[in-house]
Structure formats: structure tokens, C-alpha cells
Amino acid sequence: MKSFAFMVAIAVLIIGFSACDRVSKIVQPTTPDTEDKRQEISIGVVLPLTGHLAATGQLMKQGFALALDEINNAQLSNTTFTFIIEDDTSTPEGAVAAFNKLIHQEGMSVILGPATSSATRAAFPIAQENEIVAISPTAGARGLGAIGDFVFRVPLATDVSALKGVEITYTKLGYQRVATLYDDTDLFSTDRDKALREAFTANGIEVLTTEVFQSGETDFSAQLARIQVLNPDVIFVSALPPEKPGILIQAHQLGISATFIVSSLTDVEVEAAGAAAEGAITFTGWFPTDDTPGNPAFVQNYSEKFGMAPNAFAAVSYASVYILAEAITNAQSADSTAVRDALANIRDLDTVFGKFSFNADGDAVYDPRALIVKNGMFQPFE
């Protein structure tokens, strides 16, 4: 009897505790689930943050950062993006190391970068071999998109920009005799000079001489003096950002009066060259006063966030993030094959460049432009 009474008491206690628990769940308010359940997708970024092109890499990083903030804050989908950034030290070897780390250690399925054509030529095969999507915002040398179906480029290829640029400027200036000066250690500069000479041949323009230099050089006086003796109508320069101001300044000091047409010249180099940049022309796909979709807001937001106006490197980096985000949204996945297919199908996407598409080789398709420096500022070349 005592055992039976003890068991009954235990049962009563258990039933009581269960009842209390149920009442507690009914009476106490439920804490709302405020946790952000959006999916987070990490994107690898490879930039030259140290070395010869560190200044350019920082401008590109700012363009990436602004686009990332805008896309995440807009909350247009159930996805947020984060960047895992690696420095390629402004070298092809650094880009290879950065790609290997992002792919094999960080597990990235998508990478933005590298910046230069030389680094891109070295790193793109790694992405292709591992079936990882890679998008270079700024590598313009020909043939890079054709490395494989997982790699893409946002800038116009050198043959497209050179041919159109020569067509635009030749029609107005009517030059017949030209000289070229290029960096023979940089893939983009070498390929651009070749593309220019092909355009000259197509238009019956005589090339008086071609001079070369190497990345990191600061004295271009000997090359410019040899060009000056030949008195060309126009001098075409193909170079990376650090060398452009010095070339313009030294040409100005020598009293060279020929028009300079310089690859991818930006307001940063124009400001550094000062009066020596006056009248210089460049071929580009973007202009800060363009009324293309989102461009006025981009210029305003960038200027407010970083205390400086954006240049073409910042603009193309900004656009690259939006192009990738569009593809990931359309793919509804970060799977590299799905993103690759979505990128390949981008047609007439509204960007700060205007309508943007990829062709069958993963190269960009949009309208190139020509700009000229007047009173220290870029103006449309008309």
C-alpha cells in the first residue's frame, strides 16, 4: 500500500508539472522571430591593393563596396552578399596565389577579378580548370574571355575600343601620320598597341615609329624625343595608370604639340599631369555626366561616401557587382554552373554604361566613347 501511494503521488506530480508547462506556453507571449533569414553568399575579390597598381586597386575597391552596400540595403531578394578580398600584389603570380586560396581554402564559387590583363591571363585558367566563375572588371586584352566558358570580362576588348576610337577621332581630326608608345611588359598595353596598328592599317594611316618602355619606369624623355623629331600628328600611348602622368608631363616639357590619345585615361591621371593633360583624348565606355540608368545616383552616392568623384575604374567595378548580382538572382543559386549560364544569358541589362550584354566569348558588348580633356576636365569628344 505504501508503494502504491508513493507511485500515485509521483504520477500526480508529473501530471501537474505537464499541465503547468502547457499553461505557461499558452499564457506567456511568444518572442517574435526577428532573425534575418536571408541567405548569405560570399564572393571572392582579387585586387591589386599593394604594389605598382595599389592606388588603382583602392579606387576599384571603393566601387565594389558602394555597390555591395546598395544591393544589400535594398533587400530586393532573400540574399545578401559579402566579399572575401585577396591582394594580388599587382603581379600575375599574386593573382594566381589569390585565386588558389579563394578556390581551394575559402571555397568560393564566384570571383571578381583580377584587374590587369597580365594577371587575368595567368589566373583565368585556374578558374576555368576548377569550373569557378571569374569576372574581370578591367582586363581589356583580346582573347581572355575565350579562355573558357566560366570566365567573363566587363571592359570592352582592345580591338573593339581601338577600332571605334580610331574611327571617331580620325573622322574629326583627319590625322595621317602617327606614333605609338607602349609598355611592352604589360599585356593590355601590348595588345592595345597591336589593335591600334591594325586600325591604322584599315584606315590608311601611316605609323612613323613605335617606342616602348617598361612598367615602373619614370624617364620617357628619350622615347619622346625620338618621336618628336618625326613630327607626328597624333601620339598614341598604351600604359598602366602610374606611367601616364609622367609621359604627358615630359612631353609637355619637351614642347611636343601633337595630340595625345591615351589608353583608359582617368581624372586621377589628368589631375596628376595638370596642364600637360590638356587636349588629351581617351577611349572609354563611361562618362560621369551620362544619363544612363543609375549613373547620376552612382556619381552622387560615391562622391558623398568617399569624398571624391568616381572615375572609370570605380564605375566599372561598381557595374561589375550589379551584373554579377543580376546573374545570381536569375540563377537563384550561387552554384558556379548556374551563375555561368545566367551571365552568358545577360542581354541589354541596364547599367551605368547603358545597355550591357555578354557575347559568346564572355566579352562585354556596349557602346564605346571618346573623351577629351578641356580646361582640366573630361568632355565628350564631338
Cα-trace Rg, the chain: 28
DSSP code of residue 149: T
State in Å, rounded, how far the first CA of the chain is from the last one: 109
Angle at 83 between CA 81 and CA 85, to 5 degrees: 170
Q: Which residues, at least 6 apart from 150, have a Cβ–Cβ distance to it below 8 Å?
A: 127, 128, 131, 132, 133, 134, 336, 340
113 near 45, Cβ under 8 Å? yes
Instruction: Annotate 325-350 with b (16+ C-beta within 10 A) or e (fewer).
Output: bbbbeebebbebebbbebbbebeebe
Task: Determine the pLDDT at residue 76.
Answer: 64
Selection from 146, 145, 163, 162 nearest residue 154 by Cα? 145
Question: Cell triple for residue 47?
Answer: 585586387
- 3 state SS of 290: coil
3-state secondary structure of 139: coil
Contact, 372 vs 378, CB < 8 A? yes
CA 365 to CA 156: how far, in whole Å? 7
**Residues 6+ away with beta carbon under 8 Å from 301:** 66, 70
Beta strand extents in the chain (DSSP E only): 39-47, 79-87, 110-112, 133-136, 151-153, 177-183, 206-213, 234-238, 259-262, 281-284, 349-351, 354-358, 364-365, 369-374, 377-380
Q: Return the amino acid letter for 232.
A: P
- Nearest Cα neighbor of 324 from 9, 41, 49 is 41
The reported pLDDT for the residue numbered 39 is 83
- Mean pLDDT per segment of 10 residues, for the chain of length 382 residues? 38 38 33 58 97 97 97 82 97 98 98 98 98 98 96 95 94 97 98 97 96 97 98 98 98 98 95 97 93 96 96 97 95 95 97 96 93 95 88
Alpha carbons 245 and 209: distance in angstroms, whole number? 21
Q: Specify the DSSP class assigned to residue 205.
A: -
Residue located via cell numbers 578591367: 138
Answering whether pTM is above 0.85, one says: yes
- Which residues share a beta bridge with 238? 182
Peptide bond into 114 cis (omega under 30): yes
C-alpha grid cell for residue 307?
569624398
Residue 144 pLDDT: 97
Distance CA 341, CA 152 (A): 11
